[in-house]
Amino acid sequence: MMVFYCEFCQAELNNAVNNSKKIKKFFGSKNGKSFICNFCVQIAFQKCLDQNIFEEKEEDFTIIDSDKISNEELFSYKDEIKTLLYQLDKSIIGNDLAKKEILALLSYHQWRIFQDDPRIPKKNAIIMGTTGTGKTSILKILSKEMGIPIVIADSTTLTKTGYVGDDVSTILNILLEEAGNDIFKAQKGVIVFDEFDKIISHKNDSLSSRSVSDPLSLQSEFLKFIESKQIYLSPSSEQQNVFQQIQTKKVVFDTSDLTFIMLGSFEHLRKQILNKKNLSILKMHRNSNNEDSLLINENIDNLVSITKGLIEIGMVRELAARFTSFIFLKDLNVEQYKNIILYSDLSPLSNIRKYFKYFKSDIIISDEAITLISETAFKEKMGVRYLNTIFNRLLEPIVAEYILQDKFPDVSIELNEQSKIVILFHE
């Protein structure tokens, strides 16, 4: 979903606030990526007349009329969702429900911004899943496809604002860079804190009087951002050049439209919830008339038990209350590991094959070897990262041996009679 706004005054199409400037039309470039409102066109037109620099040229723009256009005409929503899911499925194997839930979360984020109504609440989320299940990869792929600026930060490297080390406000500078130093675009982005479960204290004390990197102090810093504060940034040298050009020295970052997502294993809590509840937070019930309905009471119980569980493991009550969406990712099974190797765009075998083809060679792997590698990865419970580790360990000696030659040998990865992996060379 694209949010249309004027490149000059940053006014958004269909924004009621813009009525004071009588903005009724947006003029779009031919590629549909840049827009200017009628108000700024009028100013530019007058300046051209004053300086006598008008040139007659063929009109090369389209007109978007906010009086006649609908959300459906701005973007074919259903087709876009199907395309996004297709792109996601090519890379991420398994966890189909979680992929849809994360897509719905980011879709809501964009829709809310497009409405420009502060009464519509944000949806901050906690995504729970063990390492290698695809939490960060799903977010990276979707944010790129949807044009959302995103920063994924490691919670364990942060310290309280004002002390040596990375603080939470540093993340806003990084988000600003990701948005091309466009403050308006950055303020509509997503901030993700990974490994969040590792900084949660197991003592639910007061937020005040805590040490520099104490978990409760960090949670206090997170709370400041989530509560829609205006934060003054200290821009980097590159950002200073950008903001000097628009004659401002202070960079005020409004976090009102940011969506915050916390990632982590939350292993004990996740197992506790999944043992007692359905994986989906919203349970569906099909009645005698073959109609779907939500089991409201049970769904509320699910949400309450998750929030209580977060507080019990050390998340302060004020912060836990700011998260309304909870998404669970299942551990991958053996068959899914095999499908990652064979079909995923992120397949380590596919990537290393590309490298071997650069040296005029190929890799052949037997079904039995794929099964054994998948079973090994499944036992280790480390996800796709461990698949990368396995293939690197198998093939790095070959690369080191032949790196100075023009051609690598063709390689076969098979099982011997003892069910051990062997690598055969074919010169």
**Is 347 inside a domain boundary?**
yes
Do residues 272 and 319 both lie within one domain?
yes
**Average pLDDT per run of 10 along the chain, which is 427 residues long?**
64 52 64 70 74 54 44 53 88 93 93 85 92 92 91 79 58 89 89 88 44 65 78 68 52 88 87 57 49 47 75 87 91 94 93 92 94 94 88 92 89 92 86
Number of structural domains the chain divides into: 3
93: its two tokens: 């194997």
pLDDT for the residue 348: 93
> Which stretch of DSSP H or E encloses residue 87?
helix 77-91
Do residues 361 and 319 both lie within one domain?
no
pLDDT for the residue 415: 93
pLDDT for the residue 96: 93
Q: Contact at 8 Å (CB) between 362 and 408?
A: no
**Is 6 inside a domain boundary?**
no
Q: What region, left, alpha or beta, does residue 360 occupy, with left being phi > 0 and alpha being psi -120 to 50 degrees? A: left
270: its two tokens: 């996740």
- Separation of alpha carbons 71 and 116, rounded Å: 13
292: its two tokens: 């779907």
Q: Contact at 8 Å (CB) between 135 and 94?
A: no
227: its two tokens: 């509560």
Residue where one domain finishes, among candidates 51, 71, 91: 71
414: its two tokens: 């098979």
Do residues 254 and 135 both lie within one domain?
yes
Do residues 98 and 239 both lie within one domain?
yes
Q: Which candidate, 301, 327, 398, 315, places its Cα nearest to that of 123?
A: 327
pLDDT for the residue 225: 76
Do residues 178 and 321 both lie within one domain?
yes
pLDDT for the residue 208: 40
Do residues 341 and 301 both lie within one domain?
no
**Is 8 inside a domain boundary?**
no
Chain-centroid distance, C-alpha 273: 24
- Separation of alpha carbons 236 and 179, rounded Å: 14
**Is 342 inside a domain boundary?**
yes
Q: Which CATH number fits the domain that encloses residue 281?
A: 3.40.50.300
Do residues 87 and 223 both lie within one domain?
yes
Do residues 133 and 241 both lie within one domain?
yes
Do residues 253 and 343 both lie within one domain?
no
Q: Contact at 8 Å (CB) between 373 and 341?
A: yes
Q: Which candidate, 332, 139, 303, 322, places its Cα nearest to that of 229?
A: 322
The residue segments making up the domain with residue 45 are 16-71
pLDDT for the residue 29: 65
Q: How many C-beta neighbours within 10 Å does residue 181 have?
A: 19
Residue where one domain finishes, among candidates 311, 328, 345: 328
Beta bridge partners of 425: 411
**Is 4 inside a domain boundary?**
no
**Is 297 inside a domain boundary?**
yes
pLDDT for the residue 219: 82
Q: Contact at 8 Å (CB) between 328 and 279?
A: yes
The identity of residue 298, as a single letter, is E
Residue where one domain finishes, among candidates 328, 349, 371: 328
* 229-238 pLDDT tens trace: 788 877 665 5
Cβ within 8 Å of residue 98, ≥6 positions away: 127, 129, 138, 327, 328, 329, 330
pLDDT for the residue 65: 45
Q: Which CATH number fits the domain that encloses residue 350?
A: 1.10.8.60
Do residues 114 and 258 both lie within one domain?
yes
- Separation of alpha carbons 411 and 421, rounded Å: 13
Do residues 181 and 111 both lie within one domain?
yes
Q: Contact at 8 Å (CB) between 413 and 356?
A: no
End-to-end CA separation in angstroms for the chain: 52
**Is 2 inside a domain boundary?**
no
- Separation of alpha carbons 207 and 29, rounded Å: 50
Beta strands in 144-282 (DSSP E): 150-154, 158-159, 166-167, 190-194, 230-233, 251-254, 259-264
Q: Contact at 8 Å (CB) between 384 and 340?
A: yes
**Is 369 inside a domain boundary?**
yes
371: its two tokens: 């099964």
pLDDT for the residue 343: 94
192: its two tokens: 């993700």
Distance of CA 385 to CAs 8, 137, 258, Å? Answer: 44, 12, 30
Do residues 312 and 343 both lie within one domain?
no
Q: Which residues of 214-226 are buried (b: 16+ CB within 10 A; e: fewer)?
A: bbbbbbbbbbebb
